[in-house]
Copies of this chain bind each other. A is one copy, B any other.
């Protein structure tokens, strides 16, 4: 199963950037969960273009639910989200059939699909595919909230500018839910926007880091081998286009620590075992320990840039130059955060249902 992820709660995605429609099927989520279409729309908006730092392509991204919801609640059977593609300028992409864009999947798609892939706008590899994930994720996020579990992601860095880290996690998550551009420190947000605009003015692009917190996750969820919480989350995160790194807790910084620091001391507080620090990001031995789950995701700079680049011509087997036409973002990190939230929620719903049964969300 290639375009399906999850076991008890699973999501299947479909579509191409310039095809008729894209979407997702969310299967296995318990019956009886309220489906909040306004929240879905709000999440879709967060994924979409924001002002001048994003692509000029503006689609309504209206989500049509064609199955799995009855009288405003989940039925327990597959929920299907369909988003029609409207605003497509396919003529911009003709050249891409034989001139692969550096940093994109054009070349590897051609190797795998022997030239039959829909190359327009990246086809099935397009970041647009994440719209289906966000729609499905919105339902998953609400299912988690019913259990008191919240998820939030901020832009930890973009274009070399760094946000502050998480402080009061439930408060920060709440604040992020209301932001268009998810930066905890508003001054840093302005500097990041400036960095993105500078890259755009150079016909170039920037990347960044996302940092995610999950609050309220019960302990005892995850497996020692091979479906550790880190494994499951990373599997999902690395599906998001442009993600090239993940780390949990202090991640790579742990490699430079000594054990006496990295080990989070255990304490009884208010009758509950907690850790005094959280260098391990809420996960030990692949299993949640009840502390906040913390991870970071590296987002590479958008590969579509206006600058002319070296590439090859697959018709003539000769070297050539390419200037990418069409509309593209000088950064996607601000749009990717809601995708990370969505993917995280989908993974956690699956893990909770595997651990506590499919009715866990309606108990």
Contact A232-B235, Cβ < 8 Å, known A102-B263, A111-B220, A116-B74: yes
- Interface residues in A166-188 by Cβ distance below 8 A to B read none
Q: For the complex, is A354 an interface residue (Cβ under 8 Å from B)?
A: yes
Q: For the complex, is A326 an interface residue (Cβ under 8 Å from B)?
A: no
Q: Which residue of B is nearest A203, CB measured?
A: B260
Q: For the complex, is A8 an interface residue (Cβ under 8 Å from B)?
A: yes
Contact A66-B20, Cβ < 8 Å, known A1-B6, A224-B125: yes
**B67, B114, B223, B238: the one within 8 Å of A15 (CB):** B67
- Interface residues in A262-281 by Cβ distance below 8 A to B read 262-268, 271, 273, 275-276, 279-281
Q: For the complex, is A163 an interface residue (Cβ under 8 Å from B)?
A: no
Q: Which residue of B is nearest A78, CB measured?
A: B14
Q: For the complex, is A302 an interface residue (Cβ under 8 Å from B)?
A: yes
Q: Is the CB of A300 within 8 A of B254?
A: yes
Q: Is the CB of A355 within 8 A of B358?
A: yes
Q: Is the CB of B114 within 8 A of A258?
A: no
Among listed A27-35, A54-62, A140-148, interface-contacting one: A27-35
Q: For the complex, is A36 an interface residue (Cβ under 8 Å from B)?
A: no
Query: Distance (Å) between the CB of A26 and the closest chain B CB?
Result: 9
How far apart are the CA atoms of A109 and B260 in the complex, in Å?
A: 21
Q: For the complex, is A244 an interface residue (Cβ under 8 Å from B)?
A: yes
Report, as a range, how many residues of chain A touch the other chain.
Answer: 35 or more
How far apart are the CA atoms of A244 and B101 in the complex, in Å?
A: 33
Query: Distance (Å) between the CB of A102 and the closest chain B CB?
Result: 4
**B226, B280, B288: the one within 8 Å of A244 (CB):** B280
**B209, B267, B268, B303: the one within 8 Å of A252 (CB):** B209
- Contact flags (1/0) for A243-259 with B, using CB distance below 8 Å? 11111111110111111
Q: For the complex, is A129 an interface residue (Cβ under 8 Å from B)?
A: yes
- Contact flags (1/0) for A289-307 with B, using CB distance below 8 Å? 1100000101111111101
Q: For the complex, is A73 an interface residue (Cβ under 8 Å from B)?
A: yes
Q: For the complex, is A190 an interface residue (Cβ under 8 Å from B)?
A: no
Q: For the complex, is A91 an interface residue (Cβ under 8 Å from B)?
A: no
Q: Is the CB of A254 within 8 A of B301?
A: yes
- Interface residues in A141-157 by Cβ distance below 8 A to B read 157
What residues of chain B lie closer than 8 Å to A275, measured between beta carbons?
102
- Contact flags (1/0) for A51-77 with B, using CB distance below 8 Å? 000000000000011111011011111
**B226, B250, B304: the one within 8 Å of A3 (CB):** B226
Query: Distance (Å) between the CB of A178 and the closest chain B CB?
Result: 25
Q: Which residue of B is nearest A108, CB measured?
A: B287
